[in-house]
């Protein structure tokens, strides 16, 4: 099995020179489109488990809130449901971290097949999962920054008329700073993942190397993260259009009945959409991170020229 050549070896060509940001994002989606069957096969089960776990947590939390509202009693069954969902979520994230690293190595031809790539991921499992978990914390950090910005605005509003006039400019500055911080954080976590997936070095060296690459071109990298995020959001919203009418209808029924219940068919639709969401967003993010990692290497270290010289030296007849 170790001799089986990965399908990624023949379905796409990797760039051998620096590209524009738009070209990198476009290429990430094109590589996914060309290899979507192989990528889906590698990410489907952990993505499905992650979606089911989120559904279990949502159901347990919704039922728990409903029970507290009606009887004021704490439901043991709902607590168990949420606990099971939490455990399944942790397992699925572990599987996704391993498979994401293996997929990175397979797409960028660092290993000849998925079996070899998974062997590398297991060997580096603690470093991989540490960095993957750090990346998952970025949304919570952004929420914290938004909370701080909101608290500042409320404080200014409480001071009265003169200070309240500063809310709009202060909110604008806060939003701008939060956008920059988010972009840099995403860039850093993206390069952390790329380095730990590509380079056989310890965790301390991974962090040092990723930070060097992050701050080599921070404005370019931050712009790349913003462009990638906006493009992904638009694509995923398009995927989720078929769910929106059902959610609107069920929301309307909640306002009429006052009962917070989500029917089984809607849970199935949402779980299916979330699974697709997980696969597409993770796959494109993995490919895009690797493309930017290579691009920075080309610009900063001349890796493309080194590769060209190595090819020439290995083929003296050229």
Give the residue, 64 or 4, on which the prediction is more confident.
Answer: 64
Domain of 129 in residue numbering reads as 8-314
Please report which helix (H) or strand (E) contains residue 96, including its range: helix 76-107
Q: Is residue 130 part of a domain?
A: yes
Q: Is residue 256 part of a domain?
A: yes
pLDDT for the residue numbered 10:
47
pLDDT, tens only, 242-273: 888 887 877 777 677 766 667 788 888 889 99
* pLDDT band, very low/low/confident/very high, at 176 (cuts 50, 70, 90): confident
Average pLDDT over residues 181-203: 94
Q: Give yes or no for residue 3 having a pLDDT over 50.
A: no
What are the backbone angles phi and psi of residue 304, rounded to the nearest 5°?
Answer: -65, -40
Give the residue, 270 or 167, on which the prediction is more confident.
Answer: 270
Residue for token pair 């959001």: 233
Q: Give yes or no for residue 288 having a pLDDT over 90.
A: yes
The residue length of the chain stands at: 318
Q: Is residue 191 part of a domain?
A: yes
Complete DSSP assignment for 243-257: THHHHHHHHHHHHHH
Select from 95, 294, 106 the least CA-distant residue to 194.
Answer: 294
Cα 248 to chain centroid distance, Å, stands at: 27
Average pLDDT over residues 108-124: 93
Q: Is residue 1 part of a domain?
A: no
Average pLDDT over residues 157-183: 79
pLDDT, tens only, 8-29: 554 567 888 889 999 999 999 9
Cα 88 from Cα 60, distance rounded (Å): 14
Q: Number of structural domains, the chain?
A: 1
The pTM of the full predicted model, rounded to 2 decimals, is 0.86
Neighbours of 96 (CB within 10 A): 22
Give the residue, 183 or 310, on which the prediction is more confident.
Answer: 183
Task: Report the share of the chain in percent with pLDDT over 70.
Answer: 87
Q: What is the mean pLDDT of the chain?
A: 85
Q: Is residue 71 part of a domain?
A: yes
DSSP state, residue 46: H
Cα 95 from Cα 100, distance rounded (Å): 8
């Amino acid at each position: 099995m170790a001799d089986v050549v990965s399908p990624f070896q023949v379905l796409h060509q990797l760039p051998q020179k620096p590209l524009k940001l738009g070209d990198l994002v476009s290429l990430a989606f094109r590589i996914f489109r060309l290899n979507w069957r192989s990528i889906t096969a590698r990410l489907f089960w952990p993505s499905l488990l992650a979606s089911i776990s989120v559904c279990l947590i949502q159901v347990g939390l919704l039922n728990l809130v409903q029970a507290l509202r009606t009887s004021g009693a704490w439901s043991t069954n709902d607590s168990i449901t949420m606990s099971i969902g939490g455990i399944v979520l942790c397992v699925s994230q572990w599987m996704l971290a391993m498979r994401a690293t293996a997929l990175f190595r397979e797409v960028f031809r660092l290993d000849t097949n998925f079996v070899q790539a998974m062997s590398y991921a297991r060997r580096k499992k603690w470093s991989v999962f540490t960095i993957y978990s750090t990346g998952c914390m970025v949304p919570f950090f952004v929420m914290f920054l938004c909370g701080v910005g909101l608290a500042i605005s409320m404080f200014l509003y409480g001071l009265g008329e003169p200070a309240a006039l500063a809310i709009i400019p202060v909110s604008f500055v806060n939003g701008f700073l939060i956008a920059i911080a988010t972009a840099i954080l995403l860039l850093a976590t993206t390069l952390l993942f790329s380095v730990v997936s590509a380079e056989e070095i310890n965790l301390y060296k991974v962090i040092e190397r990723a930070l060097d690459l992050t701050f080599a071109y921070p404005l370019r990298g931050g712009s790349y993260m913003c462009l990638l995020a906006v493009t992904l959001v638009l694509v995923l919203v398009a995927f989720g259009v078929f769910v929106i009418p059902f959610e609107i209808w069920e929301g309307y029924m909640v306002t009429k009945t006052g009962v917070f219940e989500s029917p089984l068919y809607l849970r199935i639709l949402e779980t299916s959409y979330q699974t697709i969401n997980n696969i597409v967003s993770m796959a494109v993010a993995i490919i895009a991170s690797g493309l930017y990692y290579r691009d920075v290497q080309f610009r900063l270290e001349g890796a493309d020229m080194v590769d060209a010289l190595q090819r020439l030296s290995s083929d003296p007849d050229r």
